A and B are shown apart, each in its own frame.
Chain A
Amino acid sequence: MTNGILVFAEHREGVFSKTSFEAITAAQQLGAELGQAVTAVVLGTDAALAGQVAAYNVDKVVSAENPKLAEYTPDAYTDAMERVVRALEPQYVILPHTYLVRDFAPKLAARFGKSVVSDCIRASVAEGAVTFARRIFLGKIDADVLTDGEAPVFATFQSGAYRSEQAARGDAAAAVETMAVEVGEVRMKPEPAFQEVKQAVDLTKADIIIAIGRGIKSQENIALAEQLAAALGGDIAASRPICDAGWLPIDRQIGSSGQTVAPKLYVALGISGAIQHLVGMKNSTTIVAINKDAEAPIFDIADYGIVGDLFEAVPVLTEEIKKLKG
């Protein structure tokens, strides 16, 4: 018999990520709907870390321990998680869709002859079966996904899919169960993580951001956006492809691999709105999108939208703003 939901709580050097608590929320909600117990698992070298998770309303916390888990490697984490999953035989294994999880979860699932239902944004239960929803085509379309139900089902949830503050705390601390896990040869050796030279531009403090994407078409056209930024008194930023092309420096990049901002006004010019970009700006107070594709995902979160040619709209917008500011 297989049973229960296992949720993976991710930490880096002892600090749990916000998305881990979102995953706990997801696991608790699924557990309630399916009538299944939730167990959290923390990988590391001692049980102190697991104590932080035990405050949440879970059946128990498994502290899977091995000296080789002191730092993250896909080899060690996969071995450890495989041991835990085989020991507990959960029906669902829920993980946050972080860069760390992306690095090892497919390897873990492959040990069970399957893949991960990855990057989910929702899960709903009907007649005991879970339907997962994922974004496909860079966020343009949603897909409902059913699994064959055969345990274990591995699923990862996108950052923001559930709310971390909704993770329910328990009346009393959950029991922490220590599990010494075997870890085989670890082939990769990590060096300490680091940040690139201090970013010259701190966009997190900007009140107004004019961001450009692929739709700007050429480096010369950036001048149009700069004129709008000057009129509004804002800063220029960009989605990843613009920085990849070297049109703007990397410290202007907004999104999961760049800066996360929440200005009063965010104007997205020619940005379709891949999820990696949206996570970096979706909390902006007012979002404006100008894009020729009416189905672009950026419009899903925009307050004001113009479907059309940005090369027509932007010069007019700049002039009108200058007039209004008089």
Chain B
Amino acid sequence: MKIIVLMKQVANKDSILRINKEGTWIEEGDLTFEVNESDGYALEEALRIKERQGSGEVIVCSMGPQRVKSVIKDALARGADRAIHVVGDDLAHIGPYKAARILAEAIQGEQPDLVLTGLQSDDYGFAQTGVILAELMGLPHATIVIEVDASGEQLRVKRELESGWYQWYTMPKPALLTIQSGISQIRYASLKGIMAAKKKEIREVQPAADDGASGAHQRITKIYFPQKTKQTQFLGDGNAKAGATALAEKLRTEARVI
């Protein structure tokens, strides 16, 4: 079974975000980057499917400037067999429709049996690229998947619904699944894996020239920190212990929960 895993590089979750002078995006200069959380789980699921089947190939595909190589190398170290890097400096900021078009172009020739990706990105949070890609490639899809049974002729997947409900869906292969975080425990790269990764292929591809039909239909005009809906009383003025003492008093006298 040939499985392609789409992985995005995003700003590190613990980053302190600062808005640029123009107010149009965050300052990226001082950021560190990491793999999008749910995409990491998508890779883990692909590796487990391959291991259960005893054969197959896991290909990781990532899009963006050269810095995304760190995501690719980490995926190869964890066990992916080879990689496709769609190279372009501005590819981190295109909308999901255009991203899906470029990805479809990059992976269509591979004729995968399964395409996996995370359910949404931690930066733009569109939650659409996977589903649009499935439509463009003519594949059936399922989103927010938390269990995959790829052993049979048909694919059987468990989807998360809201409020603790779940549902199983069966569909033919090839198919595209968007994976929910927490589907399994993510493995660490072993030293052996890190050494082996150095010999693995990373194929660079350039996105096809823009044909104009895939322009951005939505654009960000301004970003800003959300307005607070509550007037928060900040306690301790940076001193956590003093804050805790003040808080205990507030909980007794104002909130009256003690």
A contact residues vs B (CB 8 Å cutoff): 73-75, 78, 98-100, 102-107, 109-111, 113-119, 131-132, 134-148, 150, 153, 187-196, 199, 207-208, 214, 232, 240-241, 243-246, 256-260, 264-265, 272, 285-290, 293, 295, 297, 299-310, 312-314, 316-317, 320-321, 323-325
Contacts and interface: CB of A to CB of B under 8 A. Distances in A.
A147 B244 contact: no
A59 to B, nearest CB: 26
Contact of A142 (B225, B234, B251, B257): B225
Interface string B195-229: 00000000000000000011111111111111111
B47 to A, nearest CB: 17
B34 to A, nearest CB: 13
Contact of B226 (A104, A141, A313): A141
* A188, A199, A288, A310 pick with most chain B CB within 10 angstroms: A188
Nearest to A138: B122
B161 A321 contact: no
B251 A265 contact: yes
A221 to B, nearest CB: 15
Contacts of A194: 165-167
Given A106-B96, A138-B122, A286-B255, A295 B17 contact: yes
A199 B164 contact: yes
Which 8 A-B pairs have CB atoms at the shortest separation, nearest pair first?
A244-B182, A308-B240, A320-B248, A306-B243, A106-B128, A316-B244, A106-B131, A312-B240
B91 to A, nearest CB: 15
Contact of A146 (B213, B219, B225, B233): B219
A307 B124 contact: no
B181 A244 contact: yes
Contact of B257 (A141, A208, A299): A208
Given A109-B132, A303-B255, 16 more contacts: A98-B162, A103-B143, A106-B132, A111-B135, A131-B221, A132-B218, A135-B226, A145-B218, A187-B140, A193-B167, A265-B251, A290-B240, A293-B16, A299-B228, A300-B232, A304-B235
Contact of B164 (A142, A143, A259): A259
B218 A146 contact: yes
Contacts of A109: 97, 128, 132
Nearest to B131: A106
Nearest to B99: A115
17 contacts: A99-B161, A104-B131, A109-B97, A110-B131, A117-B218, A118-B125, A141-B225, A144-B224, A188-B140, A191-B170, A193-B161, A193-B166, A256-B163, A307-B234, A317-B244, A320-B244, A325-B258
B225 A295 contact: yes
Interface string B139-167: 01111100000000000000111111111
Interface residues of B, number: 85
B134 A107 contact: yes
Interface of B: 11, 13-14, 16-17, 19, 26, 95-97, 100, 122-128, 131-132, 134-136, 140-144, 159-172, 180-182, 185, 213-230, 232-236, 238-241, 243-245, 247-252, 255, 257-258
A104 B180 CA distance: 17
Contacts of B234: 305-307
B110 to A, nearest CB: 21
Nearest to A148: B217
Label chain A's interface by main secondary structure.
mixed
Given A141-B19, A196-B166, A321 B248 contact: yes
A297 B221 CA distance: 22
A286 B257 contact: yes
Contacts of A119: 125-127
Contacts of A144: 220-224
Nearest to B144: A99
Nearest to A207: B257
Contacts of B225: 140-142, 295
B125 A135 contact: yes
A144 B220 CA distance: 6
Contacts of B249: 320, 324
Contacts of B258: 232, 321, 324-325
Given A144-B220, A144-B222, A288-B247, A308 B236 contact: yes
Nearest to B11: A137
B226 A107 contact: no
Given A119-B127, A137-B17, A295-B17, A113 B97 contact: yes
A306 B248 CA distance: 12
A115 B245 contact: no
Contact of B160 (A99, A107, A153): A99
B244 A258 contact: no
B31 to A, nearest CB: 11
Given A147-B218, A188-B142, A195 B166 contact: yes
Contact of B248 (A137, A287, A324): A324
